[in-house]
Chains A and B, each alone.
Chain A
């Protein structure tokens, strides 16, 4: 019996010693928005590839770019506008995969404010999150020709928290929402869809690429790291496709991993179903045309563009090429 235990312990140690450690920094708190990664972990997809993945939840005041720059993570989930802005600031990060094919960002307004089209935004108060999520919004306002400093004829911008109270308390005419999260919070609060006017960034032509996987460029030069990332992307995409097909199970996995105890089953199941709509159609490879459209949208911000010159080498397909080869 003792020999069996010793042998199995040695095997465990040997097994875990050969597993590579990967730290993934999420863009926000544990929720179904990152369901694919949690599913990959819970279902053993990472283990199969020989990876020992630690998923670090994000949250208010955590900038994933900064965590990665400080060495706290190997790979992060971020939105392309924020990543490109960081890249222009001197932080060389590169997109290695794009699980989210479509954008879920919207601007939701109360119908009673009389807003029917983007032209009606002038002289209203609009809410937007910061921490990287303000770039698509600022870009859109710039393209509409609306100043964001609160001057007459422009819009007053409110830094909203990640709840929908500004809309419910009528402190803002419109707030930023995601199709999978805040919009449903508004509905849950008792407002019916008929009482809302919603503008989807995708429909307005100002959508930007959202959740993608990013790593530091200098680390990508190391072939061993490339190999690890290939395995990671492959397992993650497997997790995403599983989540797309089994949204309820994925939601429960996410709930199990939630350390705050604040997420609810109903909310997560709905979120997972909505997120599945955004990841559908992507096998993980970045659609270069969509990426260039994002770049164009960010650069056309009039007097205040998010980025001033076209990025070079901001994305690479070398990881997804190898990962999807099999």
Chain B
């Protein structure tokens, strides 16, 4: 209980501030409309009106919750209006990007640690690649994959998502592959192990804790990448698309509901990956 109390207090404070902000921000529209219609309104009338607007600047928590509930439980799961369906589309994209990012991150890290040529040539570029805002490249990746003949938007979305999620895995794997200390490397040399054997028998197992630790960051990055990837790819399905559509069609409630759905999805993914990490740690004899 003592752990929950501070969290609950902070949450309660956030909700209180939220409600206050709702009244303050939505009031402008109410006053403007009253002025246009030549009426005057008192604060007692304004406050309820700020809570039930169709296009609020800041929807109050209960309106967001209602919309979220409507999107999750109020629709058939296969319906195009269901947030569960769109969350699944985003989830699918995230998993594809996550998998591709892991492959890329691990593969590139292994190549860089193993071969000095790769270390010198590619490592600086891998770091610079993260400084290029992926959102600038996303439309290009889409166009290029379309013209190369790859149909559909799944592959480009996976590439964009992998772009963001490969880096945490990559950095951690490099640290992990380089983590065996000199004593251990010397020991393997006394056993007559070549570069390749040392790599597979010492470096790779030593890197596993680092690998699992990076997965949480990678999956969060993959989710962001998928959502960013959904924006230029025609914005039809997926949570990012819903956010964009809510914004473009002037339906802020759709936007907010999608945002919270994305938050919930992110939370679920991180918890799931955290569980995988704990399992892996336990099996490898580390601290659970």
Contact = CB atoms under 8 A, between A and B. Distances in A.
Query: Do A and B come together as binding partners?
Result: yes
Interface of A: 29, 57-62, 66-67, 69-72, 112, 161-165, 168-170, 185, 189-192, 195, 258-262
B147 A70 contact: yes
A90 B3 CA distance: 66
A58 B234 contact: yes
Given A29-B235, A61-B231, A61-B235, 8 more contacts: A29-B236, A60-B232, A71-B146, A72-B147, A112-B36, A261-B82, A262-B81, A262-B249
Contact of A163 (B57, B242, B250): B250
Contact of B29 (A168, A185, A192): A168
A72 B250 contact: no
24 contacts: A29-B235, A29-B236, A57-B234, A59-B234, A60-B232, A61-B233, A67-B146, A69-B147, A70-B143, A112-B36, A163-B247, A164-B250, A165-B55, A169-B57, A185-B250, A259-B80, A260-B236, A260-B237, A260-B242, A261-B81, A262-B81, A262-B245, A262-B249, A262-B251
Most-contacted residue by chain A among B29, B82, B234, B241 (CB, 10 A) = B234
A60 B146 contact: no
A189 B234 contact: no
B242 to A, nearest CB: 8
A235 B149 CA distance: 28
A190 B33 contact: yes
Nearest to A111: B36
A163 B234 contact: no
Nearest to B145: A70
B55 A72 contact: no
A57 B236 contact: yes
A189 B250 contact: yes
Contact of B79 (A57, A69, A71, A261): A261
Nearest to A71: B147
B248 interface: yes
Interface in B224-280: 231-237, 241-242, 244-251, 254
B80 A163 contact: no
A70 B246 CA distance: 29
Given A70-B147, A71-B147, A190-B33, A60 B235 contact: yes
Contact of B244 (A60, A112, A168): A60
A259 B236 contact: yes
B54 interface: yes
B139 interface: yes
Interface in B76-109: 79-82
A153 B250 CA distance: 31
SS class, residues of chain A in contact with chain B: loop
Contacts of B242: 260, 262
Contact of B80 (A57, A185, A261): A261
Interface string B24-59: 000001001100100000000000000000110100
A165 B250 contact: yes
A193 B159 CA distance: 47
Contacts of B250: 163-165, 185, 189
B248 A161 contact: yes
Nearest to B231: A61
A159 B79 CA distance: 33
Given A70-B143, A189-B54, A163 B81 contact: no
A59 B241 CA distance: 10
B26 to A, nearest CB: 12
Contacts of B57: 169
* Interface pairs A-B: 8 shortest CB-CB: A163-B250, A261-B80, A261-B81, A70-B147, A61-B232, A59-B234, A162-B248, A262-B245
A66 B80 contact: no
A314 B261 CA distance: 47
A258 B80 contact: yes
Contacts of B32: 170
Contacts of A164: 250
Contact of B139 (A61, A72, A168, A260): A61
B127 to A, nearest CB: 28
B236 A195 contact: no
A128 to B, nearest CB: 15
Contacts of A66: 143
B49 to A, nearest CB: 11
Contacts of B81: 261-262
A191 B36 contact: yes
Contacts of A260: 80, 235-237, 241-242, 245
A169 B146 CA distance: 38
Nearest to A164: B250
Contacts of A112: 36
A69 B144 CA distance: 11
A161 B247 contact: yes
A112 B232 CA distance: 36
A95 B52 CA distance: 48
Most-contacted residue by chain A among B54, B146, B246, B254 (CB, 10 A) = B146
B157 to A, nearest CB: 13
Contact of B254 (A62, A165, A185, A262): A262
A76 to B, nearest CB: 14
Contacts of A67: 146
